[in-house]
Amino acid sequence: MSSGRIRVAGPGELGEGERERWRALRVASEAPRNPFMEPEFTEAVGRVRPGARVAVVYEGLEPAGFLPYERGPLGQGRAIGLGVSDAQGAILRPGLDLETGRLLRACSVSSFAFDNLEAEQRLFVRYAAEEHATYVIDVEKGYETYESVLRSQSPKFLKTTLAKERRLGRQGGELRFVFDEREPAALRTLMGWKSAQYRRTGRRDRFAQEWITRLVGQLARTRAPECSGTLSVLYAGERPVAAHFGLRSSSVLACWFPAYDPEFAKFSPGLVLHLRMAEAAAADGIGMLDLGRGAAEYKDALKTGELPVYEGAVTRPGAGAALHWLSREPTRRAHSFVRGRPRLASLAARTLKGAARLRRT
């Protein structure tokens, strides 16, 4: 085996040379430069999650690989930021020969769980239990080309959305779009909208979890060439009507938390916002918007393609593997069963919404 020692450290303990090597390995990767895979994201998680760690694999004195992960109280491992991170895996020198059991032992974990593993993660893909699609918008050739693709694949959608945008401007006030808004009040407004949306739809409110709220606050202040928090806001007059917070690199905008003011729902401000985000991203040299996994009507309308991501876990033999199976597999299989049956999935969604309405009464 060509790899040497493996050092485990907290994300904030990495030296600048190690962070630069991490970035260089991402440049050498075949994968899109997703900001969730950059050291700045791992460092931000490390400030709010005490179990965050990075395994650094050395060849001689040179770092040849990095695995950002979190270690649970019972020794279970998981991808860094699991539950909110939309790209996961190891950052390795191409061709590095690494044995997963040895890596997990060095990390002192019995398992490594993932739910948005990059397709290029050859070390872990063979342990995947499911493949999912993440939806993307290609603006590599510019926004005008993207609009022409929309006109071809869904002409009614584009025509209707642009008409709603004009009506919103007439009735709500002159429209103004800010791609990288720095006003903290706008981020608080977005988080309030998103929490309300989670409750309306019967979903778990992510912003009710303190660590996620703190993580978003950390990333909103992060400004690095390949991982920068980006808040985009659509205003009607002086009033925000739709907003999105995500992460961007030099080539990818990772879409994360979109929401809008329900009072303006008839104008589809969220769709208008995404069109303006695509336009601004293309003008800034970004070639792809990653809308994330999970089916949604707005993603079907906006997407130009799909990329595979994977869910599963690698485990070491023993009690830890059994603990991982008991804690995650029954729930994962239940979700997979429902997702694979559209009528059942629709019924489940309606049931969740109904339960949410009952809780509010």
Instruction: pLDDT tens for the chain, 361 residues: list them.
Output: 344 799 999 999 999 999 999 999 999 999 999 999 999 999 999 999 999 999 999 999 999 999 999 999 999 999 999 999 999 999 999 999 899 999 999 999 999 999 999 999 999 999 999 999 999 999 999 999 999 999 999 889 999 999 999 999 999 999 999 999 999 999 999 999 999 999 999 999 999 999 999 999 999 999 999 999 999 999 999 999 999 999 999 999 999 999 999 999 999 999 999 999 999 999 999 999 999 999 999 999 999 999 999 999 999 986 555 554 555 555 545 445 444 555 544 554 444 445 444 444 4
Q: Which residues contact 243 (CB under 8 A, 6 or more apart)?
A: 181, 186, 187, 189, 190, 193, 231, 232, 233, 234, 258, 259, 260, 273
| CA distances in angstroms from 96 to 29, 49, 122, listed in the order given | 12, 29, 10
pLDDT value of position 351: 44
pLDDT value of position 4: 73
Phi, psi for residue 243 in degrees, rounded to 5: -155, 160
What is the C-alpha to C-alpha distance for residues 85 and 253, in angstroms, rounded to an integer? 13
pTM: 0.88
**Type and span of the H or E element at 343:** helix 342-360
- Rg of the chain taking only CA atoms, in angstroms: 21
Which pair of structure tokens corresponds to residue 336?
């997979």
Contacts 24+ apart (CB under 8 A), 150-154: 150/302, 154/301
At 65, which amino acid appears? G
pLDDT value of position 317: 81
Buried b (16+ CB within 10 A) or exposed e, 320-354: bbebbeeebeeebeeeeeeeeeeeeeeeeeeeeee
